[in-house]
Chain A
Amino acid sequence: MARHITSVLARLYLALILVFLYLPIVIMMTMAFNTSPLYEFPFEFNLIWFKALISNERLLLSSLNSLMIALANTLVATVLGTMAALGLNRYEFRARPLLELLLLPPITIPWLIIGVSMLIFFYWTGIGRGLHSILLGHVALSLPYVIIVVGTRLKTYGPTLEEAAATLGAKPSQAFWRVTFPVLAPSIMAAALFAFAVSFDQFVISYFLAPPGVSTLPVEIYTSIRKGFTPEINAISTLIILVSMGIMLVVARYYRFGGER
Chain B
Amino acid sequence: MSRVDLEHVSKRYAAVAALHDVSLSFRDGEFFGLLGPSGSGKTTLLRAIAGFVEPDEGSISFDGRRVENVPVHKRQIGMVFQNYALFPNLTVAANIAFGLSVRRVTGAEAGRQVSEMLELVRLTGLNERKPRELSGGQQQRVALARALVTRPKVLLLDEPLGALDRRLRQEMQVELKDIQRETGVTTIFVTHDQEEALTLSDRIAIIDQGRLMQMGQPREIYERPATIFAAQFLGDANIFTGKRENDVLILPGGERIHAPGTAATVVVRPEKMRVFAASRAVPDEASNRIEGHITQAVYSGASVTYHIRVAWRVDRPLLVFAQNLKGEVLTPETSVTVAWSPEHTVPVET
Contact = CB atoms under 8 A, between A and B. Distances in A.
B72 A183 contact: no
Of the listed residues B52, B81, B89, the one surrounded by the most CB atoms of chain A closer than 10 A to its CB is B89
Given A168-B146, A170-B98, A161 B76 contact: no
Given A163-B81, A164-B79, A167-B79, A183 B87 contact: yes
A174 interface: yes
A26 interface: no
Contact residues on A (Cβ < 8 Å of other chain), bracket: 10 to 19
Given A169-B150, A183-B87, A163 B99 contact: no
A236 to B, nearest CB: 40
B147 A167 contact: yes
Contacts of B77: 167
Contact of B81 (A160, A169, A170, A179): A160
Contacts of A160: 81, 83, 85
Nearest to A172: B73
Of the listed residues B50, B74, B88, the one surrounded by the most CB atoms of chain A closer than 10 A to its CB is B88
Contacts of A182: 89
A174 B100 CA distance: 13
A169 B79 CA distance: 11
A179 B87 contact: yes
A11 interface: no
Contacts of B72: 163, 166-167
Nearest to A181: B89
A174 B146 CA distance: 17
A183 to B, nearest CB: 6
Contacts of A170: 73, 98, 102
Contacts of A183: 87-89
Of the listed residues A163, A168, A169, the one surrounded by the most CB atoms of chain B closer than 10 A to its CB is A168
A165 B81 contact: no
B222 to A, nearest CB: 32
A166 B150 CA distance: 13
29 contacts: A160-B81, A160-B85, A163-B52, A163-B72, A163-B79, A164-B81, A164-B85, A165-B98, A166-B72, A166-B73, A167-B73, A167-B77, A168-B73, A168-B78, A168-B99, A169-B73, A169-B74, A169-B76, A169-B150, A170-B73, A170-B98, A171-B73, A172-B73, A175-B73, A178-B102, A182-B89, A183-B87, A183-B88, A183-B89
Interface of B: 50-52, 71-79, 81, 83, 85-89, 98-99, 102-103, 146-147, 150, 156
